[in-house]
Amino acid sequence: MDNLRPRLDALQAQSLYRRRRLQDGPQQPQARVDGRALLSFCGNDYLGLANHPDVIAALRDGAQRWGVGSGAAHLVNGHSRAHQALEEALAEFTGRPRALLFSTGYMANLGVISALAGRHDTVFEDRLNHASLLDGALLARARLRRYPHADASALHRLLKIESARLIVTDGVFSMDGDLAPLPELAALARDAGAWLMVDDAHGLGVLGRDGRGSLDHFGLGFNDVPILMGTLGKAFGTFGAFVAGSEELIETLIQSARSYIYTTATPPALAEATLVSLAIARRETWRRERLAEWIERFRTGAARIGLQLMDSSTPIQPIIVGSAAQALAWSAALEAAGLLVTAIRPPTVPEGTARLRVTLSAAHTAEDIDRLLAALEL
């Protein structure tokens, strides 16, 4: 193992070394991290549901009924009535015939792409897609073609040269906070005879009617985007992921998606909790309204003090810093002031675009936003 040390030392020298923090309490803006009270702006709990008392109660009651673990994979004996109820609720929520639960979004993306594409197929992906989407194409041993970020015209030119099996994109890009040009991508996929897959991990719960996500935001339906992946650990505050689509798609994934077949199902109690959080997210529209208010408040204040923000109308509000060392320095200065904002560095983002990734939640207050802006102004 001694030959690993130089690689670790090189990461430290380049300000690219990653360290874990120790969280001492539940996910909420008023956090306790590494033994310190900090105001957090780096979680994905966009609607403030991760610590909601009704969601906690549903998890507790679910554990009383189902126990703690599922005990097996879905295809053995781990698929409970709670899992089935959640799949049906997610299908109805997304307006699709069926939905299928996966343990994580990473596993869902690996499973879908590797089940639908193979060695002789081409998968086109946005250059800034999440790592799991890129890895899905690599696992499938497909030809991976990456087009410039959010550039539908460039994709159109590439499709004239090579046919596509799948076109894959994030709905909301996790490090930039911007939206993919989904209407244009849907039209290109339709003309090319390809399937369009959208990973809407950061759009569901936040955008569209009742939080139905990026597709609803653009007025797109099931026929426009036949493959939808969503996660449950962000706006919905719990854990896991799902894929929604046609009867044929879901049955194909059950038969062929290795990351679904060969892993233990998530706990049934978690499904019970997610059913409650999904209902709250749909019913309590004030959460999205408040989140939109905080986004506008932050962007207005950031412009006033001259911060360089990216073009994002979502809870993800990156502040471009440049070098990894500078991003770490800014993050450390904010932490000294009692604020937790994560520095995002290469290879997560391109070289020279290291940033502070501010994420906002409906659980924040106006005073929280103003405190962050005041610290950033210094």
- List the pLDDT tens digit at each of the 378 positions of the chain: 889 999 999 999 998 898 899 999 899 999 999 999 999 999 999 999 999 999 999 999 999 999 999 999 999 999 999 999 999 999 999 999 999 999 999 999 999 999 999 999 999 999 999 999 999 999 999 999 999 999 999 999 999 999 999 999 999 999 999 999 999 999 999 999 999 999 999 999 999 999 999 999 999 999 999 999 999 999 999 999 999 999 999 999 999 999 999 999 999 999 999 999 999 999 999 999 999 999 999 999 999 999 989 999 999 999 999 899 999 999 999 999 999 999 999 998 989 999 999 999 999 999 999 999 999 997
Q: In 10 A of CB 345, how many CB atoms?
A: 24
Q: Are residues 330 and 247 in the same domain?
A: no
Query: How many Å apart are CA 250 and CA 74, to the nearest integer?
Result: 13
Is residue 218 included in any domain, yes or no? yes
DSSP string, 187-242: HHHHHHT-EEEEE-TTTTTTSSGGG--HHHHTT--TTT-SEEEEESSSTT-S--EE
Please report whether residue 1 resides in a domain: no
Distance (Å, whole) CA 36 – CA 245 = 44
Instruction: With respect to residue 7, please indicate whether it lies within any of the assigned structural domains.
Output: no
Length of the chain equals 378
Residues 186 and 332 in one domain: no
Tell me, yes or no, whether 359 and 243 share the same domain. Answer: no
Q: Give the closest residue to 294 by CA, choosing from 365, 356, 377.
A: 365
State the pLDDT at residue 270: 98
CATH number of 363's domain = 3.90.1150.10
Residues 184 and 331 placed together within one structural domain of the fold: no
**Residue 277 is assigned to a ligand binding site:** no
Domain ranges, residue 233: 53-283
Is cis: bond before 26, omega within 30 of 0?
A: no
Q: In terms of domains, do 206 and 311 share one? A: no
CA distances from 327 to 15, 18, 22, 334, 342 (A): 9, 13, 21, 11, 9
Q: What are the two backbone dihedrals, phi and then psi, of residue 354, each rounded to the nearest 5 degrees? A: -55, 150
d(CA 182, CA 216): 11
Total of domains in the chain: 2
The answer to whether the annotation marks 259 as part of a ligand binding site is no
291, 274: one domain: no
Where are the extended beta strands (E) located within 113-194? 122-126, 143-147, 166-170
Question: In terms of domains, do 136 and 192 share one?
Answer: yes
Q: Quick one: 326 exposed, middle or buried, by C-beta within 10 A (0-12, 13-18, 19+)? A: middle
pLDDT of 308 reads 84
Q: What is the CATH number of the domain that holds 187?
A: 3.40.640.10
**Residue 40 domain flag:** yes
Residues 113 and 192 in one domain: yes
* Residues annotated as part of the active site: 174, 202, 234
What's residue 265's pLDDT?
98
Spatial CB neighbours of 179, under 8 Å, sequence gap ≥ 6: 171, 172, 173, 203, 214, 217, 313, 314
Question: 118 and 233: one domain?
Answer: yes
Residues 47, 52: Cα–Cα separation, whole Å: 10
> Would you state the structure tokens that stand for residue 247, as one six-digit string?
């009867």
Could you tell me if residue 66 is inside a domain? Answer: yes
Q: Which of 308, 304, 315, 313 is nearest to 355 (CA)?
A: 308
The annotation status of 120 as a binding-site residue, yes or no, is: no
Can you read off the two tokens belonging to residue 141?
């041993």
Question: Would you say residue 31 lies in a domain?
Answer: yes
Query: Do 153 and 20 belong together in one domain?
Result: no
181 & 219 share domain: yes
Q: Is 147 flagged in the annotation as binding?
A: no
Whether residues 106 and 131 share a domain: the answer is yes
Examine residue 246 and state whether it is found in any structural domain, yes or no: yes
Q: Is residue 332 part of a domain?
A: yes
Listed residues 283, 303, 321: the one ending a domain: 283
